[in-house]
């Protein structure tokens, strides 16, 4: 088919599509074949169907929009103030009082309220830390719950293991033999800023964070038998828990005490 | 348009003003927003459904588009610009979605958020059939051509609105649509060689 015919055909197809979309009668087939026109008509009718919206969708999207607006108004006080002026000023005053009381500990329940995450914000410990020998020896890796974003966090020929996320998701406590025997270390969630917390010729293992992130418990045989020890998150003030029995394989803090 | 605002008020969809607390202009803004929503939600939703191939995801993302529009409403007096803004936002959210960085705050867990889909299974099936037929016809188009064909024929935007949303010239948009339809046509001709 010659170029000129092609252009003519394309224009016809174009027109048919447009016309069919507008619901007008199709022109008599001129250059394009009847089959092509029928296909164009079919495509046009399918496209038109995609423009139809089922009943109920309008209300559902509206409700969801309003819910999002409400959440955002709560999370962005300054924005809110700038948009609706005086009315929000009153809200801000109330919010400021609540925040001040909460900071002073007068309203302990405020801190217990679950907080919605804002778009793009990552919740604490949304990643999984694990130990693998995939690169030759035991190293700590992190991965998203959906299996994406695999990252190697430790890079040391010695054994690294027992990873434990801090409650705020910012740090990971772990065990390493990099200084000759098992000691507790801490690093940032991205593997930077490694710091050694314990310094003892005996083995220190299985770190576990306190719920407030201020302390780390671990297992050690520094006094001859295995026991549970607690230290501040910076490694200071190590003490053995009285009568701690030989521990289970993993340590965890119990809430409510 | 007072008529549309009033019909929304009857549906109880407008945020109710609290007497003496909410300034009068806030009520007017609520109404303007409701009118914008009424005019645009269908095409935004249809476009996102066409791009995502998923009705619930399209509802979620449409709500996110309008929630973001709320903060920008002051700048949306010009209808052409409003349309361009809404679809540019939809585009950004889609790009985030395909990059695997959901910028959408999912509220499905909230009671006020989403109810289970009430569409009949037949309607859903028809939509799915249409989606798969259209996507079959559009195989071979570039990402941008699909976007623009969708904006033109599914969302029903005019070339001028598409040009604004993409930062292109109107003539450029017309050319892209023409080229895309030529590709579709060539493809259909291969499938139905002799009519």
Shared domain check, A213 and A156: yes
Chain-chain contact of B26 with A54 (C-beta, under 8 angstroms)? no
3-state SS assignment for residue B125: helix
CA distance B188 to chain A (A): 7
Shared domain check, B93 and B4: yes
Task: Give Cβ neighbours of residue A30 (< 8 Å, ≥ 6 apart).
Answer: A12
Chain-chain contact of B185 with A43 (C-beta, under 8 angstroms)? no
Chain-chain contact of B62 with A43 (C-beta, under 8 angstroms)? no
Domain-located, residue A147? yes
Give which of B15, B58, B57, B65 is closest to B40, Cα–Cα. Answer: B65
Shared domain check, B104 and B15: yes
Q: Which of A22-31, A240-249, B91-100 has the highest mean pLDDT?
A: B91-100
Shared domain check, A102 and A24: no
Distance CA B109, CA A175 (A): 38
Shared domain check, B135 and B106: no
Task: Give Cβ neighbours of residue A20 (< 8 Å, ≥ 6 apart).
Answer: A26, A40, A41, A44, A45, A48
Q: What digits encode the pLDDT tens for the residues A130-183? A: 888 887 788 898 888 777 888 899 988 888 988 888 878 889 999 999 888 899
Give pLDDT, residue B145: 92
Give pLDDT, residue A22: 62
Shared domain check, B107 and B22: yes
Shared domain check, B44 and B15: yes
Q: Which residue's structure tokens are 């209300």? A: A59
Residue of A17, A57, A121, A126 best to disrupt the B interface, most CBs of B under 10 A? A57
B67: chain A residues, CB-CB within 8 Å: 65, 68-69, 72
Shared domain check, B160 and B80: no
Domain-located, residue A118? no
Chain-chain contact of A50 with B70 (C-beta, under 8 angstroms)? no
Give pLDDT, residue A113: 40
Give which of A192, A164, A160 is closest to A177, Cα–Cα. Answer: A160
Domain count, chain B: 2
Shared domain check, B62 and B11: yes
- Residue A69 in contact with partner chain B when CB distance is under 8 A: yes
ipTM of the complex: 0.77
Distance CA A19, CA A41 (A): 9
Give pLDDT, residue A253: 61
Distance CA A234, CA B120 (A): 60
Chain-chain contact of B46 with A59 (C-beta, under 8 angstroms)? no
Among the partner-chain residues A47, A67, A83, the one whose CB lies closest to the CB of B107 is A67
- Residue A74 in contact with partner chain B when CB distance is under 8 A: no
- Residue A155 in contact with partner chain B when CB distance is under 8 A: no
Of the three residues B76, B111, B146, the one that is the final residue of a domain is: B111
Shared domain check, B100 and B5: yes
Domain count, chain A: 3
Instruction: Give pLDDT < 70 ranges for chain B.
Output: 1-26, 73-75, 101-120, 192-195
- Sign of the Cα torsion A92, A93, A96, A102 reads negative
In this prediction, residues A202-211 reach a mean pLDDT of 85
Phi, psi of A173 (to 5 degrees): -90, 145
Q: Mind giving me the DSSP string for B15-38?
A: PPPPTTTS-HHHHHHHHHHHHHHH
- Asked if residue B98 lies in contact with residue B90, where contact means CB atoms within 8 angstroms, the answer is no
Give pLDDT, residue B26: 67
Domain hosting A97: range is: 57-112
> How many Cα atoms are found within 13 Å in the side-chain-facing hemisphere of B148?
27
Percentage of residues in chain A having pLDDT higher than 70: 63
Domain-located, residue A140? yes
- Residue A115 in contact with partner chain B when CB distance is under 8 A: no
In this prediction, residues A201-213 reach a mean pLDDT of 85
Shared domain check, B19 and B103: yes
Shared domain check, A155 and A69: no
Rg, chain A, Cα only: 32
Q: How confident is the model at residue A251 (pLDDT cuts 50, 70, 90)?
A: low
Q: What digits encode the pLDDT tens for the residues A29-62? A: 555 667 777 777 888 888 888 888 888 889 889 8
Distance CA B129, CA B134 (A): 9
Beta bridge partners of A239: A230
Shared domain check, B149 and B177: yes
Among the partner-chain residues A35, A87, A148, the one whose CB lies closest to the CB of B26 is A87
Q: Which residue's structure tokens are 């950004």? A: B92
Distance CA B186, CA A75 (A): 52
Shared domain check, B168 and B143: yes
Domain hosting B161: range is: 120-195
3-state SS assignment for residue A135: coil
Shared domain check, A228 and A194: yes
For β-strands A160-165 and A215-220, DSSP reports them as unpaired
What's the CATH code of the domain at B189?
A: 1.10.10.10
């Amino acid at each position: 088919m010659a170029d000129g015919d092609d252009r003519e055909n394309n224009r016809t197809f174009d027109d048919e599509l447009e016309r069919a979309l507008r619901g007008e009668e199709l022109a008599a087939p001129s250059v394009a074949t009847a089959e092509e026109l029928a296909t164009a008509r079919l495509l046009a009718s399918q496209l038109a169907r995609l423009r139809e919206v089922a009943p109920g969708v309008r209300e559902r999207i509206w409700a969801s929009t309003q819910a999002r607006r409400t959440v955002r108004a709560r999370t962005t006080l300054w924005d809110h103030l700038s948009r609706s002026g005086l009315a929000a000023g009153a809200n801000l005053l109330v919010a400021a009082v609540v925040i001040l009381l909460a900071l002073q500990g007068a309203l302990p329940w405020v801190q217990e309220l679950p907080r919605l995450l804002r778009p793009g914000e990552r919740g604490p410990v949304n990643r999984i830390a694990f130990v693998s020998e995939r690169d030759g020896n035991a190293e700590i890796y992190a991965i998203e719950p959906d299996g994406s974003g695999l990252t190697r966090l430790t890079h040391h020929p010695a054994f690294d293991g027992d990873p434990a996320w801090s409650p705020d998701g910012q740090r990971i406590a772990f065990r390493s033999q990099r200084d000759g025997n098992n000691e507790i270390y801490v690093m940032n969630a991205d593997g930077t800023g490694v710091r050694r917390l314990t310094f003892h010729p005996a083995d220190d293992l299985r770190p576990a964070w306190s719920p407030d992130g201020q302390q780390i418990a671990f297992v050690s045989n520094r006094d001859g038998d295995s026991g549970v020890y607690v230290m501040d998150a910076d490694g200071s003030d190590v003490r053995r828990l009285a009568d701690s029995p030989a521990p289970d394989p993993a340590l965890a803090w119990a809430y409510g005490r | 348009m007072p008529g549309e605002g009033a019909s929304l008020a009857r549906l109880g969809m407008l945020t109710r003003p609290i007497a003496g607390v909410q300034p009068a202009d806030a009520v007017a803004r609520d109404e303007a927003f409701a009118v914008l929503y009424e005019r645009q939600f269908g095409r935004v939703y249809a476009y996102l459904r066409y791009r995502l191939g998923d009705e619930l995801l399209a509802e979620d993302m449409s709500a996110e588009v309008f929630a973001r529009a709320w903060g920008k409403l002051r700048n949306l007096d010009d209808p052409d610009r409003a349309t361009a803004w809404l679809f540019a936002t939809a585009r950004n959210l889609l790009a985030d979605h395909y990059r695997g960085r959901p910028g959408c705050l999912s509220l499905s867990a909230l009671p006020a958020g989403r109810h289970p889909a009430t569409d009949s299974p037949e309607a859903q099936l028809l939509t799915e059939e249409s989606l798969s037929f259209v996507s079959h016809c559009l195989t071979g188009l570039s990402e941008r051509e699909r976007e623009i064909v969708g904006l033109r024929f599914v969302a029903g935007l005019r070339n001028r609105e598409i040009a604004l949303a993409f930062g292109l010239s109107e003539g450029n948009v017309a050319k892209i649509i023409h080229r895309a339809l030529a590709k579709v046509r060539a493809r259909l001709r291969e499938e139905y060689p002799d009519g």
